[in-house]
Amino acid sequence: MDISKKEEQRYLQRLCAKNEIWILPSNEITLLQAYNTLRELNLILCSHIHIPGTAYHFKKISALELSDKGLLFDLLSHYEFKSFELTKTQSYSFKDINNLNLSDGPHVLKLADKNLAEDFFRKYPEKIHFISSVEELYDLYEREKHFLGQRRFILQKYIQGEAVSWAGYCEGQIHEGVLIKSLIKSPVSHIGGTTTYAKKLPTTKRVDCIVSELVKELKLDGIFEIEFIQRGDSFFLVEINPRPFLQIQLLIDHTPNLVTEYFRNKGFEIKKHSPSTSKVFWGSTMRYLKKDKIDFINKTDLFHIFTHDVRFSSYFSIISKLKYIGQLIKLLIKKLILKI
């Protein structure tokens, strides 16, 4: 039976009266949905509802504001960082195209307006678009005028180097995390795409120093993924994702569990539990089997991903788990044995 918004609001209000509610959206789309839902129910200012992933600059910056890359880099421009550089980033809509400066080399176009994230990612699965000149930007606009219109984007200078992702929690002056190395992306591309096979590595002193500076200056609070490009001894900040991310299982399986450590630092009494083995790999078999990417991954890696998927299905109901594993096995047989 469907319940009305008023009934839903009353239910959440009763829940908030006796409990604290913590919401950890898994991506930009669900982050936006969480804020929109709270606004619709007039609960956005409820002090018992928390969406971590915040910063502080004269006032509290919400996770939704921090996820807007245009606002993020405008915020970061107020600081002088010593341990890394900011990647040159311009926020714009296509009506501003004549004011853009692309004279210093190729740039990457990214979405700034989260309201359009789902449509944009469906059309551009790499989630970004490589632009080498203003002329290319004009051509893109002419081709996609009906779709891109007046929507907000950012242009970020393209920097060649190795992608470095730090993932973990920040709370007060405390932070703890690991490095997540993207081994394979879907779609397979030299830039962009979604990481579908990743490896967890220990963080380095240099990266730890960078995160310490960010945490200190911005007073970061929540579960974060912070992305850099490393070129030689230089690090360039690409973006800060103020939310859990696709490979969050690597933090949960870490020793100690980095997600529960965040809440323990928040004052929650949580029984210490460390997994018997700390998982190093994360992946999604389904993406490769369904999208015909099987040739881009060796059989050993595929086995690692398959075992992860089976283990992850332990969070499903028994019926859903059996159906999911059955689907995986069926696809594996078709792709690896029958070659269809």
Give the model confidence (pLDDT) of 37-80 as tens digits. Answer: 888 888 888 888 999 999 999 999 999 999 988 899 999 999 99
User: What's at 296, amino acid-wise?
Assistant: F
Q: Tell me: do 249 and 183 sit in the same domain.
A: yes
Secondary structure (3-state) at 228: strand
Q: Tell me: do 24 and 133 sit in the same domain.
A: no
Q: What is the tens place of the pLDDT at every residue in 281-293? A: 776 655 555 544 5
Chain mean pLDDT for the chain: 82
Residue 212 belongs to a domain: yes
Q: Tell me: do 227 and 196 sit in the same domain.
A: yes
Long-range contacts made by residues 208-214, C-beta under 8 angstroms, separation at least 24?
Answer: 209/83, 210/83, 210/84, 210/166, 210/235, 211/166, 211/168, 211/170, 211/175, 211/177, 212/175, 213/81, 213/82, 213/83, 213/84, 214/81, 214/240
CATH number where 251 lies = 3.30.470.20
Residue 132 belongs to a domain: yes
Q: Tell me: do 266 and 292 sit in the same domain.
A: no
Phi and psi at 188, nearest 5°, equal: -65, 120
Which pLDDT score is estimated for 178?
97
Q: Tell me: do 294 and 199 sit in the same domain.
A: no
Q: Tell me: do 228 and 250 sit in the same domain.
A: yes
Residue 226 belongs to a domain: yes
Q: Tell me: do 184 and 242 sit in the same domain.
A: yes
Of the segments 84-88, 121-125, 298-302, which one has the largest average pLDDT value?
A: 84-88
pTM: 0.83
Pick from 154-163, 191-200, 264-273, 299-308: least confident? 299-308
Residue 80 belongs to a domain: no
Residue that terminates a domain, selected from 157, 176, 202: 157
Residue 82 belongs to a domain: no
Q: Tell me: do 270 and 166 sit in the same domain.
A: yes
- Number of folded domains that form the chain: 4
Of the segments 16-25, 107-116, 136-145, which one has the largest average pLDDT value?
A: 16-25
- Domain span at residue 297 reads 284-337
Q: In the 8-state DSSP scheme, what is residue 266?
A: T
Residue 257 belongs to a domain: yes
Residue 68 belongs to a domain: no
More confident residue, 171 or 187: 171
Which positions ≥6 away from 51 have C-beta within 8 Å? 22, 23, 24, 25, 31, 34, 35, 62, 63, 64
Residue 166 belongs to a domain: yes
Q: What is the tens place of the pLDDT at every residue in 207-253? A: 999 999 999 999 999 999 999 999 999 999 999 999 988 788 889 88
Q: Tell me: do 189 and 265 sit in the same domain.
A: yes
Q: Tell me: do 273 and 185 sit in the same domain.
A: yes
Q: Tell me: do 97 and 192 sit in the same domain.
A: no
Q: Tell me: do 176 and 223 sit in the same domain.
A: yes
CATH number where 115 lies = 3.30.1490
∠ Cα 188 283 222 (to 5°): 105
Work out the percent of the chain whose per-residue pLDDT is above 70. 78
